[in-house]
Chains A and B, each alone.
Chain A
Amino acid sequence: MSQRRLPVYLLLDTSGSMIGEPIEAVNVGLQTMLSALRTDPMALEAAYLSLVTFDSTVQEILPLTPLDEVVLPPIECPKSGATMLGAALARIEEKVAAEVRKTTPDQKGDWRPLLFLLTDGKASDSAAWQRMIPRIKACGFSRIVACAAGPKADPDVLRALTDDVVVLATMHRSEFTRFFRLVSSTVTLGSRGPALLVGGTDQDEPEELPEPPEEINPFI
């Protein structure tokens, strides 16, 4: 029986500055996150994870996979890499369009997907990054959580994409653990996000009672 899936996209920076302690901390954080998710019944039943890394190139490390089948290899950084954040977002947009199932009369749609982005620096392809911001916002994510890791990351830049910005002051392991704990708790309970009000009245206006229905007229 097909089941409604909760697609979770993880987008991780593997640029040169992540080499060493930071990427190790990410690997540990990922495993911790997986362990935590595996103890949550809702995540085990519905969460599908996909992991994409970006440096000078964008790589899909893990295609959209049910949580109980996820086996993660350690993420590695190439010897020196830029931060092609724009290209990474473009890839995410493609994947969402191709992978996330929408509700149709014949198909049960997925829950709105989640996006988690971790970067420790600024986009090398800043024009592409700027261009992708509105497009990612239009992808239908119920939440986008961006993590600015370390002193060189700029949370304000990430705030153009989402209000949900987590700042890791240092690149220490404990900080990364904090981020991955946030990821797993977001994915679990309460992760479905607000149900979208389709059509109807403008949400920003205070609602008023409309014109009352007419009295019954049994003699028409």
Chain B
Amino acid sequence: MSDAKIDEDLKAIVRRALEKMTKEHNLVWNATGPGKVQQILSEDEEVIKKFTQLMSLLASMTSALLRSRSDLLRSPPLTAALGSGTGEPVHTQQLRPAAHHPASLQSVPAASSEPNTSVGTPSVASIGDLLVSGTDRVATNQEAVECPTTFELPEMTPAPMLDGRVHSHAPNPPITDGSSFPPSGVQSITVPPSNVNIPKPASSIQQVLEARNPGSTSQVSPSVSPQPRHQGRGDGFTNKPSLDSLAASSSHTKTSYQKPSPPPSMIPNKPIFKVLPMQGKEYSLPLADAIDCTELKRRLGGADLSRLEIRFPEGLGLDYHLDSRKIKGTPKQGGEFEVEFTSLDRESGKQQRIQEKLQVNPDPESLWINTPSDGFKGTPGWKEDQDTQKRPGPQGTILAARIRGKSHAHVGSPCDDDMFIEIQDGWHILIVADGAGSAKLSRLGSQLAVQRAGKYLVDEFAKSPQMAAILQALESENPKPETLKSISQGSVGTAAYKAFGAILEAAKVDGRNHKDLSTTLLVAMARQLSSGRWFVCTFWIGDGALALYQKGQGPILFGTPDSGEYSGQTRFLDSESVSPAGLEARTRFQFVDGFDALVLMTDGVSDPKFETEARLIDRSAWDEFWTDLDHEVAPYDDVEAASKRLLTYLGFRSPGNHDDRTIAILRPKGVN
């Protein structure tokens, strides 16, 4: 068989395929004349792409086939088919199923003119039909067979170059007047189902034909269970052939032969369960609310659901009650479970059964793990995962506790919060800081900030040579606001300034950026004066809360938390915040006759307990907060025990709130 002849035959096949496509899909050709380049007009890149793919596929495949099966070409029926050009599929010749012969094609005997009595296969001529129409079944003169839906091709040399244009031997365009352009501009073109992929080359045509199911002629039984290949629910298809589908478009109606609709098994499976249960939560839903009954019916082959049985795994805790038609129970575990649906047809007594995966949401609380941060020991800023501190004093007691958040505990990273408390010469000092979650050394930032600020207040401010004058001013009857401001900015304000300095200093280490040490900072200092009233001054940057709580009265907030549009956004200690203007804005002071508690907390506590800024200034929100805390922590006289209870209190459950939690409280003596 000469190459020329093969080429000719190839072109003939292509021509016939094109004729068929044109007829069925009303393709419009830009006919520039016989033997000239023709073009499909389409605005849609995808259409052109598909068409190109299709043509290449078709050409390569038939060419390969022809080259390998040159013996076939000699056979009269086939030549007749090729030469007929009538567009009618010729089914008289069948190829011997190559599946029997895993070796090369050569071992397949030459086609005979007898109809093949074993597995029907489409003739070469009608393979073109297959591809253009996308049918996955072809009526042969034997039973319907399932055909592979893409073809893996051997490497082709040379593959014909087709680029969306049809070169010569184009089919006669349907436009009878042979005009160059379609009458009214560009027309849109429908192409056959465009789910054609360019297949990978197979090592032989054998693989192609082997991929089919010889003899599998029946509809896929819907009662066959799905074959999930992966964890998770469903892979979309039951009994899916291993190759992609060239399923015909159901909207396509112009065929000259019957195209069956895809069998039920080819329709992608929708999930059956609409509402998923949760571990430990009671589930009680009528069947129609819990599951997609339409989908279930479909999967059970249309069986009616009046005699439905649902089998849940033993011990899961869920059951289907046929009498009430409800699924009820409280699942004991989360995870993926296999559930069996069985329908019983009343008349025929036949059972249909399918299995479906059910996802039971685990209780998130049960998923949290607590990994110590020992792996970080020795790294800059590492601190114990939790801490308590206490300072009992003649005028009041300070308690503080810090606990690592669940999100850090889950991955074994250290706490980013830090704290410092001290009573020095009548000055009660409370400092908390929250390192930025995203800043890689923020745990060092918070540590440096609280330590440096605390050190300044204890070692420098409290020992100031001006202390006598300062106290005199505070004790006077009507201290001037400017004086009080000066004292405040010179104490807690300067403490914050020093804290920032320490951060900048630490940032000078190679490879560090000061932003890596970003932290919030809340500093409070309180002194009881001889009159009994207290002087409190504060500095606050970031989120969290800093307030005086008084039962029966609204809280006194020492500023407003810095926040952004989104959760987790806040401001951190920086140059602006400790500049003269910054100190002006962020330093506050207050005289108060009596109070129940001076409270400092990071947002790990204020977010779950108050949620919004509005609630942070709300009296009842504070009453609620304090009642709850006091109930857990009181009495305060045994400070050791009280501080431990404060730590326990910090373990309160709050879904969605798993930040580090730090709280420091000054309880004045004599308060209830």
Contacts and interface: CB of A to CB of B under 8 A. Distances in A.
Contact of B571 (A39, A72, A199): A199
B438 A42 contact: no
Interface in A1-53: 1-4, 15-17, 19-21, 24, 27-28, 31-32, 34-35, 38-42, 44-46
A77 B598 CA distance: 61
A112 B570 contact: no
Contacts of B233: 31
Contacts of B46: 15-17, 80-82
Which applies to chain B's interface (DSSP): helix, strand, loop or mixed? Answer: loop
Interface in A131-155: 140, 142
B273 interface: yes
B487 A195 contact: no
A41 B410 CA distance: 9
A211 B493 CA distance: 13
A103 B469 contact: no
Nearest to A212: B497
Nearest to A55: B46
Contacts of B563: 103, 198
B572 interface: yes
Contact-residue bracket for chain B: 35 or more
Given A17-B49, A34-B232, A74-B269, A218 B564 contact: no
B497 A195 contact: no
A192 B438 contact: yes
Interface string A199-220: 1110100111111111111111
A194 B437 CA distance: 7
B195 A20 contact: yes
A164 B500 CA distance: 33
A73 B327 CA distance: 22
A210 B576 CA distance: 8
Contact of A80 (B194, B359, B436, B568): B194
A117 B486 CA distance: 55
B210 interface: no
Contacts of B562: 198
B574 A31 contact: no
A15 B244 CA distance: 16
Contact of A214 (B269, B362, B490, B578): B490
Interface stretch (B152-160, B274-282, B644-652): B274-282
B245 A20 contact: yes
Interface stretch (B178-186, B610-618, B626-634): B610-618
A112 B275 CA distance: 27
B438 A209 contact: no
Contacts of B464: 216
Interface string B571-588: 110111111101100000
B299 interface: no
B268 A74 contact: yes
A24 B235 contact: yes
B580 A210 contact: yes
Contacts of A110: 566-567
Contacts of A199: 571, 576
B150 to A, nearest CB: 8
Contacts of A98: none
B565 A140 contact: yes
Interface in A86-104: 102-104
Contacts of B515: 197, 203
Contacts of A32: 230-232
B567 A111 contact: yes
Given A108-B612, A198-B570, A217 B583 contact: no
A28 B232 contact: yes
Given A32-B231, A109-B566, A124-B45, A201 B575 contact: yes
Nearest to A193: B438
A81 B50 CA distance: 11
Interface in B508-565: 514-515, 518, 562-565
Interface string B640-672: 000000000000000111100000000000000
B567 A218 contact: no
A196 interface: yes
Interface in B116-148: none
Given A31-B230, A201-B575, A207-B514, A42 B565 contact: no
Contacts of B501: 209
A102 B193 CA distance: 45
Interface stretch (B64-72, B168-176, B317-325, B364-372): B364-372
Contacts of B569: 103, 112, 195-196, 198
B472 interface: yes
B494 interface: yes
A4 B543 CA distance: 16
B593 interface: no
Query: Which interface residue of B231, B236, B271, B436 has the most chain A CB atoms within 10 A?
Result: B236
Contacts of A60: none
A216 B575 CA distance: 21
Given A103-B563, A213-B489, A216-B490, A71 B574 contact: no
Given A4-B656, A35-B232, 20 more contacts: A32-B230, A45-B364, A45-B655, A69-B275, A82-B44, A106-B613, A140-B565, A192-B568, A193-B568, A198-B562, A198-B570, A199-B576, A200-B577, A207-B507, A209-B578, A210-B576, A210-B578, A218-B466, A218-B483, A218-B486
23 contacts: A4-B656, A16-B50, A20-B195, A24-B236, A45-B656, A68-B361, A76-B268, A79-B194, A82-B45, A103-B567, A106-B612, A106-B614, A110-B567, A189-B411, A195-B569, A197-B574, A200-B571, A207-B514, A209-B504, A210-B575, A210-B579, A210-B582, A216-B486
A-B pairs, 6 with minimum CB distance: A31-B232, A216-B490, A210-B579, A19-B195, A194-B438, A20-B244
Interface of A: 1-4, 15-17, 19-21, 24, 27-28, 31-32, 34-35, 38-42, 44-46, 68-69, 71-74, 76-77, 79-82, 102-112, 124, 140, 142, 189, 192-201, 203, 206-220
